[in-house]
Structure 1
Amino acid sequence: MKLTLVSPTALLGSAVLLSACSTPNRVEQHLGADAVIEQVTEGEYKGMYRNLYRTPVEQRQYPANCEADCYPAHPAVSCKTPAQDCQYTGPQQSPALDTGFSLQWLGHASFLVNAPDGQQLLIDPVFGQFDWPVSWAQHFAGIIKRPYTPKLSAEQLAATNAVLYSHLHYDHFSHASIAQIGTAAKYYVPLGMANYMPKGGYNVVEQGWYSHSQLDGLNIHLVPAHHFNSRKLFNDHNQAMWGGWLLEHSGKTLFFAGDTGYSEHFKDIQQRYGDIDICLIPIASYHHDKDGDWYRYVHTTPEDALVAAAELGCKVMIPWGYGNASWQMGDHSSHSPLLRLLHMQQQLNSQVPLLILNEGDSVAL
């Protein structure tokens, strides 16, 4: 018989690790009198969450459409090949808003936000293009081999006060990233998503649409998005809510739309909260040759995003979803959505100021 000696230090480390993994999370639900919870009440889909506005395929219409020549080259977008591996080189100007918010775009849907009171928030942090196991499978499928940048330091992660996740899809919600951020931050998620958090003593707040939480001087509102939710291949479709986030401090607002298609919910949000100072709105993952209508139904095209920004009363719109680290599902290339956005801004004579960022760029507003 062969005996393997294990040091007391290693045993202690293993015990601490096992203890951490078994520590239950602390979960609160913040709903309030104004919360909206849209669920199926009967039949085989009973209990599933659903969108506020549901339109049959044959009745779907959109306020604006790009019909042809949607991706012309733009002098402010410098690319290695057409619409691929690009950098925006134009002016990065926005109105003098004096909101006190600052942010860094980390790529795809991930943002680091500093609130006016100095609190640091992470929105949909996924430090890599996907969470496991999709991150593992993509290499075998030969999908998206571009590196993901930038990365946050351990000190930056440790300074995080709050983490906001919009929904469960693997490019928006990451167990690996949550493990890096740790348990010191408070995690805000839509209803039902606490069931998908890793265990280990995390502080989790679940919210319904139009409910809010308060973190010192910062109000955190969950608002509707027009999308869907799932994490597993089977049996959990729409078992948790999805949404966008509205941050408010001293009357100044920052809106993150989450993955969403165009619907009347944008007008509803403006009616409840007034014109929005800073709008982070997706412009990608809308195009697909076979199922284009489904993709657009749950993802805004660039022209949909421009219309939504006008309906929200956005004082500045920052688009996201494109980029050299984007995953390109439903897009022609890394920067085709940005080229279409700049083209449709002119076609629609949009008066919403655009602030175009490259991945890693920071801005104070």
Structure 2
Amino acid sequence: MKLSMVSAGLLLSACSTPNSVQQQIGGQAVIEQVTEGENQGMYRNLYRPQKGYPDYPVTCDGDCYPAHPAVACKAPAQDCQYTGPQLAPALDSGFSLQWLGHASFLVNTPDGQQLLFDPVFGQFDWPVSWAQHLAGIIKRPYTPKLSTEQLAATDAVLYSHLHYDHFSHASIAQIGTGATYYLPLGMAAYMPKGGYNIVEQAWYSHSQQNELNIHLMPAHHFNSRKLFNDHNQAMWGGWLLEHGGKTLFFAGDTGYSNHFKDIQQRYGDIDICLLPIASYHHEKDGAWYRYVHTTPEDALVAAAELSCKVMIPWGYGNASWQMGDISSHSPLLRLLHMQQQLDSQVPLLILNEGDSVAL
């Protein structure tokens, strides 16, 4: 009993340890917020149509999900593996990565650091994970896993936004306080207490960790964590890593907008682009879903505008959330179809969950 009480006391003490929070706002940083009215102070996207939804450069018509000989499925577009060639261009970037599923990536940098993008070890963070089981929603057969030793080796964690399939208190607890957590502005308030080292950034702001430059990029999305009272109270975004003139861009959840062109104009051609291609489909509200999630053809257009030397898609697969998707691999089938229809010249590197590649 005494040991239990001591352990509980140590746990409570650790949880109450304040976090260290720094903010990067200066230089070329951009902060877009509502300036008046009841929504004053809320963050908002850089590009907003006057009314309705924007026109998109291209939209798939007809049969957008034909079977592909390089995608082997147990059922139509469901429970699939990509079996085609995985052609990694010789970029000599020094970056290597592993796709852990959905939006989660482990990245090793040229200066020997290990980073995690949007690590969520399971489909959702609590309480959505609990509600998922309560509602009887079947868990997907694959969820990303890293060993205790791998997690302990993490130097930095970069989160794009607060949604439960991208930001996880349970995963943060597993990673621990040894890493530096990079977050868009306002997200530090949602971190668990316990002595975490946090850097908050505005769009186009810059931090440096050892030899690595870390930039927060705009995304066209939204942010919330609660059912009420916190809509867009924190910023959202993607991350650009730069080392020795080589760049890796993780777009985060985003719809298509001119922010992709802006990024290329500011930073030049991007070497490695990790772009989402899922959650754009909904029978009742497809226009809204596409507004904040790129279709596969939107991602191909964005990759061309970014002048990506290789595009690695994510969001499809057996670990991915099915909300807003027709099936587990429908986005991948649409991507391969539209790559041909558009005669896209951006090299694609298609991964299965768990695959690793050095670029």
TM-score (norm 2): 0.99
CA distance in 1, matches of 2:62, 2:50: 25
**Does 1:93 find its partner at 2:87?**
yes
Structure 2 SS opposite 1:341: helix
Q: Determine the structure 2 residue equivalent to 1:363.
A: 357
CA contact (8 A) 1:149 1:360 kept: no
Q: Determine the structure 1 residue equivalent to 2:8.
A: 14
Query: What is the identity percentage for the equivalent residue pairs of Structure 1 and Structure 2?
Result: 84
Larger Rg: 1
Q: Within 5 Å, which residues of 2 pair with 1:284-323?
A: 284-323=278-317
CA distance in 2, matches of 1:233, 1:38: 23
Q: Determine the structure 1 residue equivalent to 2:170.
A: 176
Q: CA deviation at 1:139?
A: 1.2
CA distance in 1, matches of 2:73, 2:50: 39
Q: Determine the structure 1 residue equivalent to 2:29.
A: 35
Which structure 1 segments of 5+ residues have no match? Answer: 1-5
CA contact (8 A) 2:120 2:144 kept: no
Q: CA deviation at 1:59?
A: 5.3
CA contact (8 A) 1:144 1:327 kept: no
The CA RMSD measured in Å over matched residues stands at 0.9
Q: Within 5 Å, which residues of 2 pair with 1:80-229?
A: 80-229=74-223
Structure 1 SS opposite 2:45: coil
Q: Which runs of 4+ in 1 moved over 6 A?
A: none
Q: CA deviation at 1:31?
A: 1.3
CA contact (8 A) 1:100 1:115 kept: yes
Q: Determine the structure 2 residue equivalent to 1:251.
A: 245
Structure 2 SS opposite 1:112: strand
Q: Determine the structure 2 residue equivalent to 1:272.
A: 266
- What is the CA deviation profile of residues 180-234 of structure 1, one whole-angstrom value per residue up to 9, with x for unaligned ones? 0000000000000000000000000000000010000000000000000000000
Equivalent residue letter for 2:211 = G
Q: Determine the structure 2 residue equivalent to 1:67.
A: 61
CA contact (8 A) 2:43 2:233 kept: yes
Q: CA deviation at 1:144?
A: 4.1
CA distance in 1, matches of 2:267, 2:256: 18
Structure 1 SS opposite 2:167: coil
Equivalent residue letter for 1:122 = L
Equivalent residue letter for 1:127 = F
- What is the CA deviation profile of residues 319-361 of structure 1, one whole-angstrom value per residue up to 9, with x for unaligned ones? 0000011111111100000000000000000000000000000
Structure 1 SS opposite 2:129: helix
CA distance in 2, matches of 1:343, 1:47: 42
- What is the CA deviation profile of residues 295-317 of structure 1, one whole-angstrom value per residue up to 9, with x for unaligned ones? 00000000000000000010000
CA distance in 2, matches of 1:352, 1:47: 39
Equivalent residue letter for 1:238 = N
Aligned length in residues: 359
CA contact (8 A) 1:77 1:90 kept: yes
